Structure 1
Amino acid sequence: MLLTLIRRDLALTVRSPAIWMPVMFFVLVAALFPFAVGPDARLLARIAPGVLWVSALLAALLPVETLLAPDMEDGTLDQLASRGIAMEMVATARIIAHWLGFAVPLLAALPVAGILVGLDGETGTRLALALLLGTPALAALAVVAAALTAGLRGGGALAGLIVLPLALPVLIFGVGAATPGALQLLAAASLVSLAVAPFAAGAALKGD
C-alpha cells in the first residue's frame, strides 16, 4: 500500500506544471547571488554553501500548499481513512514523494549552481553529500508544516514560520559538513526528523 501511495503522489508531482519551480528557484538564487555579493571570489566561495542550503530549504517549502491541502479539499484523505489507511502511512508516502520530486532534481542541478557561485570540486562534493543526507529532513518538515496548515488561508507563509526554526540544526550541520562529525550529526538529524514527522503529520491530519 505504501508503494501505491508513493506512485500516486509521484504521478501527481510529475503532472504538476510547478514541478520545475524548486530547482529553477535553486539555480536562479545561485545565478543572482554573485551579483549581490560582488566580484570577491574568496568571499563568495566561503558563503556559498550557506546560500545554497538556505535556497534548498526554501525550495522544499515552495510546493508546501499543494502537498496535502488539495487531497483534504477534494475528500481524498477521507476516502483513504475510510479504507483503513493510516494517516501516518499517507504522510510517509508524501514525504518520500516530495523528496524525490524536489531533492533529486536539485541534486542534479547542484553542479551548475556550484559553478555559478564558484565552488571548487572538493567543496561541491561535500555539499552534495550533505544535501543528500539533509534534504530528507527538509522534506519531512515541509510535510509536517503542510499537515498543520492544510485548509488555512495563507498556509504557505505560516508553514515557513513553522519549518524555519525546526530546520536550524539541519542547516547548521549541513553548512558545517567540512568539519569532523558534522555529516554524522546531519544524518542523525535527518533520521530523527523522518522518524517523528509521519506521526506528527498524521496526528495533524486526524485532528483536521
Structure 2
Amino acid sequence: MNGQSIWLSLLRRDLLLAARRSADVASVIFFFVIAASLFPLGVGAEPAMLRAVAPGVLWVAALLSTMLSLGRLFAADHLDGTLEQMLLSPQPLIMTIIAKTLAHWLISGLPLVVLAPVLGLQFDLSGREILVLTVSLLLGTPVLSLIGSIGAALTLGVRGGGVLVALLVLPLYIPVLIFGAGAVTASAAGLGAQAGLSLVGAMLAVSAVFAPYAAAAALRIALE
C-alpha cells in the first residue's frame, strides 16, 4: 500500500469513527446554531444593529463550536494505543496529522460554512455580505483546525486538557477572528472585502505549512 492509499485510509477511518459518534458531531452544529440564533433574541430585532453585530457573532460562534471538538482530535487514539502505532508506522507523522486535521475540519468546520448563509439571513445580511461571510469562514475554519491541532497535541494526556487547549489556542485565533469578521464588516461598509480575505488566506497558507510540523513535534514530546 503506497503512501497516498495509507493517507486516504486514515482520513476515511477518522470520518467513519466520527459518523459513529454522531452525538459529538451534532453537538458542534447545534452549539453553532443555538449560539447564533439566541443572540438576536437578546439584543432585539433592530435590523441595523443586527447587521452591525452579525460578523462578530457568527465568527465567535464558529470559533467556539470548533473548539468543542479539539479535545477529541487525538485523545481517543491515544487512549487505545493507536496513536503510538501511528508514530511507529512507515507513514510520516506529518501526513497522519494532516489527515486527522482535515477530518476534523470536514466534521466540525465545513458544516458551519454550509449553515452560515442560513444564519446570516436572520441577521438581515445582504447577499454580498453573506457571500463574503461564507468565503471568510471557508478560508478561516481550516486555520482554526490547524492551530487547534497544535493545542490538542500539546495537552494530550493532561488532566483538564480541554481548558488548557482553550487557553493555548484562543490568543492564536484572535487574528483569524479579527480579519474574518472584518472582511464582512468592510463589505457592508462598501470598502471591499479583498484585504481581509487575503489576510485570512495568507494565514491559511502559513498554518497549512507549519502547523502539522509543530503538532508532530508536540505529539512526539507528549508520547515520550
Which of 115, 124, 128 does residue 122 from structure 1 map onto? 128
**Runs of 4 or more off by more than 3 Å in structure 1?**
none
- The Cα shift of 1:117 comes to 2.5
TM-score normalized with structure 1 length? 0.95
Say whether the 8 Å CA contact 2:55–2:181 is kept in structure 1: yes
Deviations 1:142-169 (A, max 9, x none): 2111111111111111111111110111
Deviations 1:61-98 (A, max 9, x none): 10112110111111101111222333222211111101
Say whether the 8 Å CA contact 1:53–1:171 is kept in structure 2: yes
Say whether the 8 Å CA contact 1:72–1:78 is kept in structure 2: yes
Give the aligned partner of residue 20 of structure 2: 15
**Contiguous gaps of at least 5 residues in structure 1:** none
Tell me, yes or no, if structure 1 residue 185 matches structure 2 residue 199. Answer: yes
Deviations 1:107-138 (A, max 9, x none): 22112211233322221111001111111101
- Spell out the pairing of 1:73-88 with structure 2 (5 A cutoff): 73-88=79-94
Counterpart CA distance in 1 for 2:88 and 2:203 is: 34
**2:10 is aligned with what amino acid?**
L
Percent identity among equivalent residues? 45
Counterpart CA distance in 2 for 1:56 and 1:131 is: 8
RCO (CA 8 Å, sep 6+): is it higher in 1 or 2? Answer: 1
Tell me, yes or no, if structure 1 residue 26 matches structure 2 residue 40. Answer: no
Say whether the 8 Å CA contact 1:130–1:183 is kept in structure 2: yes
**Contiguous gaps of at least 5 residues in structure 2:** 1-5, 188-192
TM-score normalized with structure 2 length? 0.88
RMSD, matched Cα: 1.3
Give the aligned partner of residue 154 of structure 2: 148
Say whether the 8 Å CA contact 2:117–2:131 is kept in structure 1: no
**2:144 is aligned with what amino acid?**
L
Deviations 1:143-197 (A, max 9, x none): 1111111111111111111111101111111012134411111100111111111
